[in-house]
Amino acid sequence: MQTFQSIKQVILNLDHYSLKVLATTAVGIGGLLCYLALRRKPKTIPVGDGWWRVGERPLNEDTTIHPFVVESSEEMIQDLYQRIDQTRYTNSLEDSRFHYGFNSDYLRKVVSYWRNEFDWEKQVKVLNKYPHFKTNIEGLDVHFIHVKPARRAGQRVLPLLMVHGWPGSFYEFYRILPMITNTEEDVVFEVICASIPGYGYSEAPQVKGFNTMDAARIFLKLMERLNFTEYYLQGGDWGGFITCNMAQMKPERVRGLHLNMITGQAPGTMTLFSLVIGRYLPFLVGFTREDVKRMYPYMEKNVYELLRESGYLHIQATKPDTAGCGLNDSPVGLAAYILEKFSTWTDMKNRDLKDGALERKFSLDDLLTNVMIYWTTGSIISSMRFYKENMGTNFQKRVDNLTKIYVPAGLASFPHELLHCPRSWAYSRFRDVRSYNYMPRGGHFAAFEEPELLAKDMLQFAKKVESKRLK
Ligand SMILES: *[C@@H]1O[C@H](CO)[C@@H](O)[C@H](O)[C@H]1NC(C)=O
Ligand SMILES: *[C@@H]1O[C@H](CO)[C@@H](O)[C@H](O)[C@H]1NC(C)=O
Protein backbone atom coordinates (compact mmCIF):
# COMPACT_ATOMS: atom_id res chain seq x y z
CA MET A 1 0.00 0.00 0.00
CA GLN A 2 2.80 2.32 1.02
CA THR A 3 4.62 1.74 -2.26
CA PHE A 4 1.43 2.27 -4.23
CA GLN A 5 0.85 5.60 -2.48
CA SER A 6 4.35 6.81 -3.23
CA ILE A 7 4.14 5.76 -6.90
CA LYS A 8 0.91 7.71 -7.17
CA GLN A 9 2.63 10.68 -5.60
CA VAL A 10 5.49 10.53 -8.10
CA ILE A 11 3.11 10.34 -11.05
CA LEU A 12 1.09 13.32 -9.80
CA ASN A 13 4.26 15.32 -9.48
CA LEU A 14 5.47 14.61 -13.02
CA ASP A 15 5.28 17.55 -15.39
CA HIS A 16 4.01 17.38 -18.94
CA TYR A 17 7.43 16.92 -20.52
CA SER A 18 8.45 14.01 -18.27
CA LEU A 19 5.17 12.29 -19.05
CA LYS A 20 5.92 12.55 -22.77
CA VAL A 21 9.37 11.05 -22.30
CA LEU A 22 7.88 8.29 -20.20
CA ALA A 23 5.22 7.54 -22.83
CA THR A 24 7.79 7.45 -25.63
CA THR A 25 10.00 5.11 -23.66
CA ALA A 26 7.01 2.86 -22.90
CA VAL A 27 6.11 2.67 -26.59
CA GLY A 28 9.73 1.91 -27.44
CA ILE A 29 10.00 -0.90 -24.90
CA GLY A 30 6.62 -2.25 -26.00
CA GLY A 31 7.76 -2.32 -29.62
CA LEU A 32 10.96 -4.11 -28.71
CA LEU A 33 9.04 -6.72 -26.70
CA CYS A 34 6.67 -7.25 -29.64
CA TYR A 35 9.62 -7.64 -31.99
CA LEU A 36 11.27 -10.18 -29.68
CA ALA A 37 8.02 -12.12 -29.32
CA LEU A 38 7.27 -12.18 -33.03
CA ARG A 39 10.81 -12.93 -34.16
CA ARG A 40 10.74 -16.15 -36.16
CA LYS A 41 11.57 -19.05 -33.91
CA PRO A 42 13.02 -22.18 -35.53
CA LYS A 43 10.26 -24.61 -36.44
CA THR A 44 12.43 -27.70 -36.58
CA ILE A 45 15.13 -29.27 -34.44
CA PRO A 46 18.44 -30.65 -35.74
CA VAL A 47 18.37 -34.28 -36.87
CA GLY A 48 21.96 -35.04 -35.86
CA ASP A 49 23.60 -38.42 -36.22
CA GLY A 50 24.90 -41.21 -34.00
CA TRP A 51 26.74 -44.50 -33.63
CA TRP A 52 25.78 -46.64 -30.63
CA ARG A 53 28.29 -49.47 -30.58
CA VAL A 54 31.68 -49.51 -28.96
CA GLY A 55 34.29 -48.93 -31.63
CA GLU A 56 34.56 -47.22 -34.99
CA ARG A 57 31.68 -46.80 -37.34
CA PRO A 58 32.35 -48.92 -40.45
CA LEU A 59 32.53 -47.20 -43.83
CA ASN A 60 29.79 -49.37 -45.28
CA GLU A 61 26.80 -50.07 -43.11
CA ASP A 62 24.55 -53.06 -43.67
CA THR A 63 21.12 -51.69 -44.51
CA THR A 64 19.35 -54.95 -45.29
CA ILE A 65 16.06 -55.81 -43.64
CA HIS A 66 15.88 -59.35 -42.25
CA PRO A 67 12.77 -61.26 -41.29
CA PHE A 68 12.84 -62.17 -37.61
CA VAL A 69 10.90 -64.80 -35.70
CA VAL A 70 10.39 -64.79 -31.94
CA GLU A 71 11.62 -68.10 -30.55
CA SER A 72 11.31 -69.86 -27.23
CA SER A 73 13.55 -72.59 -25.95
CA GLU A 74 13.08 -75.35 -23.43
CA GLU A 75 16.27 -74.23 -21.70
CA MET A 76 14.92 -70.72 -21.18
CA ILE A 77 11.62 -72.05 -19.80
CA GLN A 78 13.35 -74.45 -17.41
CA ASP A 79 15.59 -71.63 -16.16
CA LEU A 80 12.53 -69.45 -15.62
CA TYR A 81 10.69 -72.16 -13.68
CA GLN A 82 13.71 -72.85 -11.54
CA ARG A 83 14.01 -69.21 -10.59
CA ILE A 84 10.27 -68.89 -9.94
CA ASP A 85 10.39 -71.98 -7.69
CA GLN A 86 13.16 -70.45 -5.61
CA THR A 87 11.46 -67.12 -5.05
CA ARG A 88 11.66 -65.72 -1.51
CA TYR A 89 8.46 -63.82 -0.79
CA THR A 90 7.90 -61.29 1.97
CA ASN A 91 4.43 -61.12 3.43
CA SER A 92 2.51 -57.96 2.75
CA LEU A 93 1.49 -55.85 5.71
CA GLU A 94 -2.04 -56.39 6.90
CA ASP A 95 -4.54 -54.49 4.79
CA SER A 96 -1.81 -52.75 2.79
CA ARG A 97 -3.42 -53.61 -0.54
CA PHE A 98 -1.34 -51.86 -3.25
CA HIS A 99 -0.23 -48.94 -1.10
CA TYR A 100 3.22 -50.34 -0.39
CA GLY A 101 3.70 -51.45 -3.96
CA PHE A 102 2.70 -54.75 -5.50
CA ASN A 103 0.79 -56.80 -2.94
CA SER A 104 2.62 -60.06 -2.28
CA ASP A 105 -0.49 -62.17 -1.62
CA TYR A 106 -1.75 -61.27 -5.03
CA LEU A 107 1.74 -61.61 -6.48
CA ARG A 108 1.76 -65.27 -5.43
CA LYS A 109 -1.44 -65.79 -7.39
CA VAL A 110 -0.03 -64.14 -10.49
CA VAL A 111 3.15 -66.18 -10.23
CA SER A 112 1.24 -69.41 -9.69
CA TYR A 113 -0.63 -68.69 -12.92
CA TRP A 114 2.66 -67.93 -14.65
CA ARG A 115 4.27 -71.14 -13.44
CA ASN A 116 1.33 -73.50 -13.98
CA GLU A 117 -0.99 -72.16 -16.64
CA PHE A 118 0.68 -69.47 -18.70
CA ASP A 119 1.86 -70.98 -21.98
CA TRP A 120 4.80 -69.04 -23.38
CA GLU A 121 5.01 -71.21 -26.49
CA LYS A 122 1.44 -70.35 -27.28
CA GLN A 123 2.09 -66.64 -26.68
CA VAL A 124 5.15 -66.80 -28.93
CA LYS A 125 2.82 -68.02 -31.67
CA VAL A 126 0.57 -65.04 -30.94
CA LEU A 127 3.58 -62.71 -31.20
CA ASN A 128 4.53 -64.28 -34.52
CA LYS A 129 1.04 -63.73 -35.89
CA TYR A 130 2.45 -60.60 -37.56
CA PRO A 131 5.67 -60.54 -39.57
CA HIS A 132 8.69 -59.30 -37.59
CA PHE A 133 11.86 -57.76 -38.99
CA LYS A 134 15.20 -56.38 -37.90
CA THR A 135 17.48 -53.92 -39.60
CA ASN A 136 20.68 -52.28 -38.43
CA ILE A 137 20.59 -48.51 -37.90
CA GLU A 138 23.42 -46.51 -36.32
CA GLY A 139 24.97 -49.80 -35.21
CA LEU A 140 21.83 -51.19 -33.53
CA ASP A 141 19.56 -53.99 -34.67
CA VAL A 142 16.15 -52.35 -34.66
CA HIS A 143 13.11 -54.60 -34.36
CA PHE A 144 9.66 -53.92 -35.77
CA ILE A 145 6.51 -55.60 -36.98
CA HIS A 146 4.91 -54.62 -40.26
CA VAL A 147 1.16 -55.09 -40.53
CA LYS A 148 -0.35 -54.62 -43.96
CA PRO A 149 -4.02 -53.69 -44.10
CA ALA A 150 -6.94 -55.67 -45.47
CA ARG A 151 -7.67 -53.05 -48.06
CA ARG A 152 -11.19 -52.51 -49.36
CA ALA A 153 -12.11 -50.84 -52.66
CA GLY A 154 -11.91 -47.06 -52.45
CA GLN A 155 -10.06 -47.09 -49.16
CA ARG A 156 -7.02 -44.90 -48.73
CA VAL A 157 -4.06 -46.69 -47.11
CA LEU A 158 -2.11 -44.55 -44.66
CA PRO A 159 1.28 -45.65 -43.34
CA LEU A 160 1.56 -45.32 -39.56
CA LEU A 161 4.37 -45.81 -37.06
CA MET A 162 3.29 -46.64 -33.49
CA VAL A 163 5.75 -46.32 -30.62
CA HIS A 164 5.31 -47.81 -27.14
CA GLY A 165 6.76 -46.60 -23.85
CA TRP A 166 7.99 -47.94 -20.50
CA PRO A 167 7.22 -50.55 -19.12
CA GLY A 168 5.38 -51.60 -22.25
CA SER A 169 6.39 -53.01 -25.61
CA PHE A 170 5.19 -53.41 -29.19
CA TYR A 171 2.83 -56.06 -27.79
CA GLU A 172 0.65 -53.30 -26.30
CA PHE A 173 -0.62 -52.74 -29.84
CA TYR A 174 -1.79 -56.27 -30.59
CA ARG A 175 -5.37 -55.57 -29.58
CA ILE A 176 -5.72 -52.35 -31.56
CA LEU A 177 -4.00 -53.60 -34.73
CA PRO A 178 -7.00 -55.46 -36.20
CA MET A 179 -9.19 -52.42 -35.52
CA ILE A 180 -7.05 -50.02 -37.54
CA THR A 181 -5.80 -52.37 -40.28
CA ASN A 182 -9.16 -53.91 -41.09
CA THR A 183 -11.99 -51.39 -41.01
CA GLU A 184 -14.98 -50.16 -42.99
CA GLU A 185 -13.79 -46.53 -42.82
CA ASP A 186 -12.55 -44.55 -45.87
CA VAL A 187 -9.04 -44.78 -44.48
CA VAL A 188 -7.07 -47.71 -43.17
CA PHE A 189 -3.58 -47.90 -41.65
CA GLU A 190 -0.54 -49.89 -42.74
CA VAL A 191 1.27 -50.17 -39.44
CA ILE A 192 4.85 -50.39 -38.30
CA CYS A 193 5.26 -51.02 -34.55
CA ALA A 194 8.91 -50.58 -33.68
CA SER A 195 10.70 -51.43 -30.43
CA ILE A 196 12.69 -48.57 -28.90
CA PRO A 197 16.42 -49.46 -28.87
CA GLY A 198 17.09 -51.12 -25.51
CA TYR A 199 13.52 -52.45 -25.29
CA GLY A 200 12.58 -56.05 -26.13
CA TYR A 201 14.00 -57.24 -29.42
CA SER A 202 15.68 -53.96 -30.39
CA GLU A 203 19.33 -53.96 -29.47
CA ALA A 204 20.50 -51.73 -26.61
CA PRO A 205 23.03 -48.92 -27.11
CA GLN A 206 26.52 -49.78 -25.87
CA VAL A 207 27.55 -46.20 -25.20
CA LYS A 208 26.09 -43.36 -23.14
CA GLY A 209 23.69 -40.64 -24.19
CA PHE A 210 20.93 -42.34 -26.20
CA ASN A 211 17.79 -40.20 -25.75
CA THR A 212 14.38 -39.66 -27.39
CA MET A 213 15.87 -37.53 -30.17
CA ASP A 214 18.25 -40.35 -31.08
CA ALA A 215 15.39 -42.84 -31.08
CA ALA A 216 13.41 -40.39 -33.25
CA ARG A 217 16.22 -40.11 -35.79
CA ILE A 218 16.60 -43.90 -35.89
CA PHE A 219 12.88 -44.33 -36.56
CA LEU A 220 12.98 -41.65 -39.28
CA LYS A 221 15.74 -43.67 -40.90
CA LEU A 222 13.69 -46.84 -40.45
CA MET A 223 10.66 -45.35 -42.21
CA GLU A 224 12.89 -44.06 -44.98
CA ARG A 225 14.45 -47.48 -45.40
CA LEU A 226 10.95 -48.90 -45.74
CA ASN A 227 10.33 -46.37 -48.53
CA PHE A 228 7.59 -44.45 -46.72
CA THR A 229 7.86 -40.80 -47.68
CA GLU A 230 4.88 -39.52 -45.68
CA TYR A 231 3.21 -41.17 -42.75
CA TYR A 232 1.27 -40.87 -39.52
CA LEU A 233 2.75 -41.27 -36.05
CA GLN A 234 1.12 -42.49 -32.85
CA GLY A 235 2.52 -42.72 -29.34
CA GLY A 236 2.13 -42.40 -25.59
CA ASP A 237 4.72 -42.33 -22.79
CA TRP A 238 8.25 -42.39 -24.33
CA GLY A 239 6.58 -43.17 -27.64
CA GLY A 240 4.85 -39.79 -27.36
CA PHE A 241 8.14 -37.96 -26.83
CA ILE A 242 9.84 -39.87 -29.64
CA THR A 243 7.08 -39.26 -32.19
CA CYS A 244 6.98 -35.56 -31.23
CA ASN A 245 10.73 -35.38 -31.87
CA MET A 246 10.25 -37.04 -35.27
CA ALA A 247 7.65 -34.41 -36.16
CA GLN A 248 10.03 -31.67 -35.04
CA MET A 249 12.95 -33.07 -37.06
CA LYS A 250 11.17 -33.79 -40.34
CA PRO A 251 7.70 -32.23 -40.33
CA GLU A 252 7.51 -32.73 -44.11
CA ARG A 253 7.40 -36.50 -43.53
CA VAL A 254 4.63 -36.41 -40.96
CA ARG A 255 1.08 -36.21 -42.21
CA GLY A 256 -0.36 -36.42 -38.75
CA LEU A 257 0.75 -36.99 -35.16
CA HIS A 258 -1.65 -38.72 -32.80
CA LEU A 259 -0.86 -38.82 -29.09
CA ASN A 260 -2.48 -40.41 -26.08
CA MET A 261 -0.10 -38.72 -23.67
CA ILE A 262 -0.02 -34.99 -24.13
CA THR A 263 2.87 -32.87 -22.96
CA GLY A 264 1.89 -29.26 -23.23
CA GLN A 265 2.82 -26.33 -21.09
CA ALA A 266 1.31 -23.11 -19.88
CA PRO A 267 1.95 -20.26 -22.29
CA GLY A 268 4.96 -18.29 -21.07
CA THR A 269 5.86 -18.87 -17.46
CA MET A 270 2.29 -19.04 -16.27
CA THR A 271 2.24 -22.62 -15.02
CA LEU A 272 2.03 -21.99 -11.30
CA PHE A 273 -0.26 -18.98 -11.70
CA SER A 274 -2.60 -20.98 -13.93
CA LEU A 275 -2.69 -23.86 -11.51
CA VAL A 276 -3.54 -21.68 -8.54
CA ILE A 277 -6.05 -19.43 -10.30
CA GLY A 278 -7.51 -22.20 -12.47
CA ARG A 279 -9.06 -23.89 -9.45
CA TYR A 280 -11.32 -20.92 -8.78
CA LEU A 281 -11.48 -18.91 -12.01
CA PRO A 282 -10.81 -21.50 -14.72
CA PHE A 283 -12.04 -19.25 -17.57
CA LEU A 284 -9.36 -16.69 -16.70
CA VAL A 285 -6.54 -19.09 -17.57
CA GLY A 286 -8.38 -20.87 -20.36
CA PHE A 287 -9.31 -24.09 -18.55
CA THR A 288 -12.52 -25.86 -19.52
CA ARG A 289 -14.82 -27.39 -16.92
CA GLU A 290 -13.57 -30.82 -17.96
CA ASP A 291 -9.95 -29.67 -17.47
CA VAL A 292 -10.78 -28.62 -13.92
CA LYS A 293 -12.52 -31.91 -13.20
CA ARG A 294 -9.52 -33.85 -14.40
CA MET A 295 -6.78 -31.77 -12.80
CA TYR A 296 -7.86 -30.86 -9.34
CA PRO A 297 -8.90 -33.94 -7.43
CA TYR A 298 -5.33 -34.92 -8.09
CA MET A 299 -3.74 -31.50 -7.68
CA GLU A 300 -5.36 -31.03 -4.27
CA LYS A 301 -3.03 -33.65 -2.90
CA ASN A 302 -0.53 -32.62 -5.52
CA VAL A 303 2.99 -32.67 -4.19
CA TYR A 304 2.57 -35.71 -2.01
CA GLU A 305 0.73 -37.57 -4.73
CA LEU A 306 3.42 -36.80 -7.28
CA LEU A 307 6.20 -37.87 -4.93
CA ARG A 308 4.34 -41.02 -4.06
CA GLU A 309 4.08 -42.14 -7.68
CA SER A 310 7.39 -40.98 -9.11
CA GLY A 311 9.96 -42.91 -7.07
CA TYR A 312 10.62 -45.29 -9.97
CA LEU A 313 11.39 -42.29 -12.15
CA HIS A 314 13.98 -40.90 -9.76
CA ILE A 315 15.69 -44.28 -9.45
CA GLN A 316 15.73 -44.84 -13.19
CA ALA A 317 16.90 -41.32 -13.93
CA THR A 318 19.84 -41.66 -11.54
CA LYS A 319 21.02 -45.25 -10.81
CA PRO A 320 19.18 -47.57 -13.20
CA ASP A 321 21.87 -50.24 -13.15
CA THR A 322 21.65 -50.83 -9.40
CA ALA A 323 17.93 -51.54 -9.04
CA GLY A 324 17.86 -53.11 -12.49
CA CYS A 325 20.40 -55.71 -11.44
CA GLY A 326 17.93 -57.42 -9.11
CA LEU A 327 15.11 -57.21 -11.66
CA ASN A 328 17.17 -58.76 -14.41
CA ASP A 329 17.99 -61.67 -12.11
CA SER A 330 14.56 -62.40 -10.65
CA PRO A 331 11.51 -62.97 -12.85
CA VAL A 332 9.15 -62.48 -9.91
CA GLY A 333 10.82 -59.21 -8.93
CA LEU A 334 10.60 -58.08 -12.53
CA ALA A 335 6.91 -58.97 -12.77
CA ALA A 336 6.10 -57.08 -9.55
CA TYR A 337 8.02 -54.01 -10.72
CA ILE A 338 6.44 -53.91 -14.18
CA LEU A 339 2.91 -55.00 -13.31
CA GLU A 340 2.53 -52.52 -10.45
CA LYS A 341 2.47 -49.82 -13.14
CA PHE A 342 -0.28 -51.60 -15.09
CA SER A 343 -2.39 -51.38 -11.95
CA THR A 344 -1.73 -47.83 -10.75
CA TRP A 345 -1.40 -46.14 -14.13
CA THR A 346 -4.73 -47.55 -15.22
CA ASP A 347 -6.41 -45.86 -12.27
CA MET A 348 -4.77 -44.48 -9.10
CA LYS A 349 -7.73 -45.80 -7.11
CA ASN A 350 -6.57 -49.32 -7.87
CA ARG A 351 -4.09 -48.89 -5.02
CA ASP A 352 -7.02 -49.39 -2.67
CA LEU A 353 -7.69 -52.89 -3.92
CA LYS A 354 -6.10 -56.16 -2.84
CA ASP A 355 -5.48 -57.25 -6.41
CA GLY A 356 -4.78 -53.78 -7.80
CA ALA A 357 -7.68 -54.43 -10.23
CA LEU A 358 -5.00 -55.74 -12.56
CA GLU A 359 -7.30 -58.18 -14.31
CA ARG A 360 -10.17 -55.77 -14.72
CA LYS A 361 -8.81 -54.34 -17.96
CA PHE A 362 -6.09 -56.84 -18.85
CA SER A 363 -5.71 -60.61 -18.98
CA LEU A 364 -2.81 -62.25 -17.15
CA ASP A 365 -1.79 -63.77 -20.47
CA ASP A 366 -1.38 -60.33 -22.01
CA LEU A 367 0.36 -58.87 -18.97
CA LEU A 368 2.78 -61.77 -18.58
CA THR A 369 3.56 -61.74 -22.30
CA ASN A 370 4.74 -58.17 -21.89
CA VAL A 371 6.81 -59.19 -18.84
CA MET A 372 8.27 -62.10 -20.81
CA ILE A 373 9.39 -59.75 -23.57
CA TYR A 374 11.52 -57.95 -20.97
CA TRP A 375 12.59 -61.16 -19.21
CA THR A 376 13.67 -63.24 -22.19
CA THR A 377 15.59 -60.37 -23.79
CA GLY A 378 17.17 -59.23 -20.52
CA SER A 379 16.24 -55.67 -21.43
CA ILE A 380 14.96 -54.19 -18.17
CA ILE A 381 18.19 -52.33 -17.34
CA SER A 382 18.58 -50.83 -20.80
CA SER A 383 14.91 -49.81 -20.74
CA MET A 384 15.42 -48.06 -17.38
CA ARG A 385 18.54 -46.28 -18.59
CA PHE A 386 16.42 -44.38 -21.08
CA TYR A 387 15.20 -42.26 -18.14
CA LYS A 388 18.72 -41.34 -17.17
CA GLU A 389 19.73 -40.49 -20.71
CA ASN A 390 16.70 -38.24 -21.11
CA MET A 391 16.41 -36.67 -17.70
CA GLY A 392 20.05 -36.33 -16.80
CA THR A 393 20.79 -32.74 -17.61
CA ASN A 394 18.64 -29.85 -18.69
CA PHE A 395 15.60 -31.83 -19.71
CA GLN A 396 13.49 -28.69 -19.66
CA LYS A 397 15.94 -26.59 -21.63
CA ARG A 398 16.43 -29.18 -24.32
CA VAL A 399 15.85 -27.94 -27.84
CA ASP A 400 12.90 -30.27 -28.40
CA ASN A 401 11.09 -28.87 -25.38
CA LEU A 402 11.70 -25.30 -26.48
CA THR A 403 10.45 -25.92 -30.03
CA LYS A 404 6.76 -26.12 -30.80
CA ILE A 405 5.12 -28.74 -32.97
CA TYR A 406 3.63 -27.68 -36.29
CA VAL A 407 2.36 -30.88 -37.91
CA PRO A 408 -1.38 -31.70 -37.73
CA ALA A 409 -1.96 -33.14 -34.27
CA GLY A 410 -4.67 -35.39 -32.87
CA LEU A 411 -4.74 -35.44 -29.09
CA ALA A 412 -6.67 -37.99 -27.06
CA SER A 413 -6.88 -37.09 -23.39
CA PHE A 414 -7.69 -40.15 -21.29
CA PRO A 415 -9.15 -39.38 -17.86
CA HIS A 416 -6.73 -41.55 -15.87
CA GLU A 417 -3.57 -40.40 -17.62
CA LEU A 418 -0.89 -39.58 -15.03
CA LEU A 419 -1.09 -35.83 -15.57
CA HIS A 420 -3.88 -34.07 -17.38
CA CYS A 421 -2.79 -31.48 -19.94
CA PRO A 422 -5.46 -28.77 -20.25
CA ARG A 423 -6.62 -28.10 -23.76
CA SER A 424 -5.28 -24.54 -23.78
CA TRP A 425 -1.81 -25.74 -22.76
CA ALA A 426 -1.86 -28.36 -25.50
CA TYR A 427 -2.73 -25.68 -28.06
CA SER A 428 0.21 -23.60 -26.94
CA ARG A 429 2.68 -26.39 -27.79
CA PHE A 430 0.87 -28.06 -30.68
CA ARG A 431 0.23 -25.32 -33.23
CA ASP A 432 -2.05 -27.25 -35.58
CA VAL A 433 -4.43 -29.27 -33.43
CA ARG A 434 -7.02 -30.97 -35.61
CA SER A 435 -8.69 -32.82 -32.79
CA TYR A 436 -8.47 -32.75 -29.01
CA ASN A 437 -10.86 -35.15 -27.34
CA TYR A 438 -11.69 -35.81 -23.71
CA MET A 439 -11.93 -39.58 -23.80
CA PRO A 440 -14.64 -41.15 -21.63
CA ARG A 441 -12.56 -43.92 -19.99
CA GLY A 442 -9.03 -45.22 -19.78
CA GLY A 443 -5.60 -44.44 -18.44
CA HIS A 444 -1.95 -44.46 -19.39
CA PHE A 445 -1.86 -47.63 -21.51
CA ALA A 446 -4.56 -46.48 -23.90
CA ALA A 447 -3.96 -48.96 -26.73
CA PHE A 448 -3.68 -51.94 -24.38
CA GLU A 449 -6.57 -50.89 -22.20
CA GLU A 450 -9.12 -49.18 -24.44
CA PRO A 451 -8.15 -50.22 -27.98
CA GLU A 452 -11.58 -49.47 -29.43
CA LEU A 453 -11.70 -45.92 -28.10
CA LEU A 454 -8.18 -45.21 -29.28
CA ALA A 455 -8.75 -46.77 -32.69
CA LYS A 456 -11.86 -44.67 -33.22
CA ASP A 457 -10.05 -41.50 -32.24
CA MET A 458 -7.10 -42.23 -34.52
CA LEU A 459 -9.36 -42.97 -37.48
CA GLN A 460 -11.50 -39.85 -37.08
CA PHE A 461 -8.32 -37.78 -36.79
CA ALA A 462 -6.81 -39.27 -39.96
CA LYS A 463 -10.09 -38.75 -41.82
CA LYS A 464 -10.10 -35.08 -40.79
CA VAL A 465 -6.52 -34.57 -41.92
CA GLU A 466 -7.07 -36.38 -45.22
CA SER A 467 -10.29 -34.55 -46.12
CA LYS A 468 -8.56 -31.21 -45.62
CA ARG A 469 -5.68 -32.31 -47.87
CA LEU A 470 -8.12 -33.17 -50.64
CA LYS A 471 -9.62 -29.68 -50.66
C1 LIG B 1 12.68 -49.32 -51.54
O2 LIG B 1 12.89 -48.86 -52.86
C3 LIG B 1 14.08 -49.29 -53.45
C4 LIG B 1 14.23 -48.64 -54.81
O5 LIG B 1 13.07 -48.80 -55.56
C6 LIG B 1 14.09 -50.83 -53.55
O7 LIG B 1 15.30 -51.27 -54.07
C8 LIG B 1 13.91 -51.41 -52.15
O9 LIG B 1 13.80 -52.81 -52.21
C10 LIG B 1 12.66 -50.83 -51.48
N11 LIG B 1 12.64 -51.28 -50.08
C12 LIG B 1 11.59 -51.84 -49.51
C13 LIG B 1 11.72 -52.22 -48.11
O14 LIG B 1 10.55 -52.04 -50.11
C1 LIG C 1 9.48 -27.71 -20.97
O2 LIG C 1 9.82 -26.40 -20.66
C3 LIG C 1 8.86 -25.70 -19.90
C4 LIG C 1 9.32 -24.29 -19.77
O5 LIG C 1 10.66 -24.23 -19.36
C6 LIG C 1 8.66 -26.39 -18.57
O7 LIG C 1 7.66 -25.73 -17.82
C8 LIG C 1 8.22 -27.82 -18.83
O9 LIG C 1 8.13 -28.52 -17.62
C10 LIG C 1 9.21 -28.51 -19.74
N11 LIG C 1 8.71 -29.80 -20.08
C12 LIG C 1 9.38 -30.89 -19.87
C13 LIG C 1 8.71 -32.15 -20.31
O14 LIG C 1 10.48 -30.87 -19.39
Chain segment 299-339, per-residue pLDDT in tens: 655 667 778 889 999 999 999 999 999 999 999 999 999 99
Give distance in angstroms: CA of 66 to centre of ligand 1: 13
Give distance in angstroms: CA of 133 to centre of ligand 1: 15
Q: What is the 3-state secondary structure (H, E, C) of the chain?
A: CHHHHHHHHHHHHCCHHHHHHHHHHHHHHHHHHHHHHHCCCCCCCCCCCCCCCCCCCCCCCCCCEEEECCCCCHHHHHHHHHHHHCCCCCCCCCCCCCECECCHHHHHHHHHHHHHCCCHHHHHHHHCCCCEEEEEECCEEEEEEEECCCCCCCCEEEEEEEECCCCCCHHHHCCCHHHHHCCCCCEEEEEEEECCCCCCCCCCCCCCCCCHHHHHHHHHHHHHHCCCCCEEEEECHHHHHHHHHHHHHCHHHEEEEEECCCCCCCCCCCHHHHHHHHCCCHHHHCCCHHHHHHHHHHHHCHHHHHHHHCHHHHHHHHCHHHHHHHHHHCHHHHHHHHHHHHHHCCCHHHHHCCCCCHHHHCCHHHHHHHHHHHHHHCCHHHHHHHHHHHHCCCCCCCHHHHCCECCCEEEEECCECCCCCCHHHHHHHECCEEEEEECCCCECCHHHHCHHHHHHHHHHHHHHHHHHHHC
Whether residue 57 lies inside any domain: the answer is: no
Neighbours of 104 (CB within 10 A): 17
Tell me the average pLDDT of the chain: 91
Whether residue 148 lies inside any domain: the answer is: yes
Integer CA distances (angstroms), 443 to 155, 259, 361, 412, 450, in order: 31, 13, 10, 11, 8
Say what the pLDDT of residue 259 is: 98
Residues 17 and 114 in one domain: no
Do 217 and 249 contact (CB within 8 A), yes or no? yes
Whether residue 98 lies inside any domain: the answer is: yes
The predicted-structure confidence for 14-38, as pLDDT tens digits, reads as follows 555 565 655 666 666 666 665 565 5
Say what the pLDDT of residue 254 is: 98
Q: Could you tell me the CATH number of the domain that includes residue 324?
A: 3.40.50.1820
Active site residue 387: yes
Say what the pLDDT of residue 20 is: 63
All residue ranges of the chain with pLDDT < 70 are 1-40, 268-269, 297-303, 471
Say what the pLDDT of residue 1 is: 44
- Pocket probe for ligand 1: among 142, 223, 227, the residue whose CB has the most ligand atoms within 8 Å is 227
Say what the pLDDT of residue 22 is: 56
Residues 248 and 299 in one domain: yes
Residues 306 and 354 in one domain: yes
Neighbours of 320 (CB within 10 A): 21
Report the nearest-CA residue for atom 7 of ligand 1: 227
> Looking at 132, 143, 258, 444, which residue is catalytic?
444
Residues 148 and 245 in one domain: yes
Say what the pLDDT of residue 171 is: 98
Residues 14 and 150 in one domain: no
Q: Is 146 in the pocket of ligand 1 (CB under 6 A)?
A: no
Say what the pLDDT of residue 299 is: 60
Whether residue 288 lies inside any domain: the answer is: yes
Say what the pLDDT of residue 264 is: 80
pTM, rounded to two decimals: 0.90
- Pocket probe for ligand 2: among 261, 263, 265, the residue whose CB has the most ligand atoms within 8 Å is 265
* Measured distance CA(176)–CA(181) in Å, rounded: 9
Residues 168 and 29 in one domain: no
> Looking at 214, 237, 400, 457, which residue is catalytic?
237
Give distance in angstroms: CA of 224 to centre of ligand 1: 10
Residues 35 and 70 in one domain: no
Say what the pLDDT of residue 253 is: 98
Residues 19 and 130 in one domain: no
The number of the ligand nearest the C-alpha atom of 275 reads 2
* Measured distance CA(462)–CA(188) in Å, rounded: 9
* Measured distance CA(222)–CA(141) in Å, rounded: 11
Whether residue 332 lies inside any domain: the answer is: yes
Residues 74 and 6 in one domain: no
Give distance in angstroms: CA of 123 to centre of ligand 1: 32
Residues 220 and 324 in one domain: yes
Spatial strand order of the sheet with 231-235 comes to 65-68, 132-137, 140-147, 187-194, 156-163, 231-235, 254-259, 409-413, 433-438
Residues 82 and 209 in one domain: yes
**Contacts of range 355-362, beta carbons closer than 8 Å, 24 or more positions apart:** 355/103, 355/106, 355/109, 356/97, 356/98, 356/102, 356/103, 356/106, 358/106, 358/110, 361/448, 361/449, 361/450, 362/448, 362/449
Whether residue 341 lies inside any domain: the answer is: yes
Closest to 372 (Cα-Cα) out of 175, 135, 171, 176? 171
The predicted-structure confidence for 195-237, as pLDDT tens digits, reads as follows 999 999 999 999 999 999 999 999 999 999 999 999 999 999 9
Whether residue 76 lies inside any domain: the answer is: yes
Whether residue 48 lies inside any domain: the answer is: no
* Measured distance CA(192)–CA(126) in Å, rounded: 17
The angle formed by the CA atoms of residues 94, 98 and 102, to the nearest 5 degrees, is 100
Say what the pLDDT of residue 394 is: 74
Look up the domain containing 220 and give its range. Answer: 65-470
Residues 77 and 155 in one domain: yes
Q: How many domains does the chain have?
A: 2
